[in-house]
Structure 1
Amino acid sequence: MNRFVRWLSASALALLATIVLLPQPAAAAPIPCGHDCLGISRDAICWEKEWCAVPIEIKGTLPKEGYALPYRTADGTASAPADYTEVREGVLWLKPGGSLQLEVFVEGDSVRERGETFLIEYLDREGRVVATATVVIRDGV
């Protein structure tokens, strides 16, 4: 009995150490969107053959005139143009009281496959990536 309790205690301790020591997901990087404004990119799950909404959460106050947020898409395990419609240079206008989401089209095929991913990369004025959102494509077949 004592041997079993020690084994159980050691197993529980090993499990706890594994959980604590596992790398945690990175916090979403803030996107500057004005003097008193930060946007937080959020990931999205989308289905094939549909428009997909990728949300952006705003912290603070957007400028009255709005804010132009440059973005582009990048391949992950999904690739354009077979899996989604590529955007090489896009601009999302963030406006107070407006919709705070980016829409991309997810292509469809007749092949059954596991979930695939691609990225939305948000850029600063110099074209550097400041934040990303991961889009997971679910198979509609």
Structure 2
Amino acid sequence: MTRFLRWLSVSALALLATVVLLPQPASAAGNLFCGTDCLAKPLDAICWEKEWCAVKVQVQGTPARGTVVNYRTADGTAAAPGDFVAVPSAELPLTTNGVTQLGVFVAGDAVRERDETFTVEFVDRDGRVLATATVVVQDPTAH
């Protein structure tokens, strides 16, 4: 019986270590952890062609002074450089208890087209996507 209990406790510890130590998949949507008392939630945006687009991040709580999150853009049905100016990697400083925003330039063309989308991905130091914001690009001539 003692041997079985020892085996059971060793197996439970091994399983726990596996679950804790394996890299966990990041959530494609959700909050960014930005401190012990801070969450930041990226918000989707609707933008017009040929304009700067503000993608907002709502901060709840108090981020530590100098807290930044890394972000990049990713093609969707809208693709860089024809539909928007790509951001391969950048940092966004978070403000205290409010809304922080980043700007992405949405390009325009002479073609009348339906709404297109691309994403702003918020990533960790290893490049894993923690959260996303979807940007809908509208053509003013189509609306």
Q: TM above 0.5, one fold?
A: yes
What amino acid is the match of 2:120? I
Contact kept? 1:28, 1:42, Cα under 8 Å: no
The residue that corresponds to 2:49 in the other structure is 48
Cα distance in 2 between the residues matched to 1:83 and 1:42: 20
Contact kept? 2:32, 2:40, Cα under 8 Å: yes
The residue that corresponds to 1:36 in the other structure is 37
Structure 1 consecutive aligned stretches of length 4 or more whose deviation exceeds 3 Å: none
What amino acid is the match of 2:131? A
Aligned-pair CA distance for 1:95: 2.7
Aligned-CA RMSD value: 1.9
Cα distance in 2 between the residues matched to 1:27 and 1:128: 10
TM-score, normalising length: structure 2? 0.75
The residue that corresponds to 1:89 in the other structure is 89
- Aligned identity (percent) is 56
Which runs of structure 2 are paired with 1:1-141 in the superposition (5 Å)?
Answer: 28-63=29-64, 65-96=65-96, 100-141=100-141
Aligned-pair CA distance for 1:106: 0.2
Q: Which secondary structure does the structure 1 equivalent of 2:140 belong to? A: coil
Cα distance in 2 between the residues matched to 1:66 and 1:87: 21
TM-score, normalising length: structure 1? 0.76
Aligned-pair CA distance for 1:28: 4.4
Contact kept? 1:66, 1:96, Cα under 8 Å: no
What amino acid is the match of 1:85? V
How many residues get paired?
A: 115
Aligned-pair CA distance for 1:98: 7.5
Contact kept? 1:48, 1:140, Cα under 8 Å: yes
What amino acid is the match of 1:106? V
Larger mean Cα displacement after TM superposition, 128-137 or 94-103: 94-103
Cα distance in 2 between the residues matched to 1:99 and 1:59: 9
What amino acid is the match of 1:86? A
Q: Deviations over 1:5-29 (max 9, x none)?
A: xxxxxxxxxxxxxxxxxxxxx9941
Cα distance in 2 between the residues matched to 1:44 and 1:99: 14
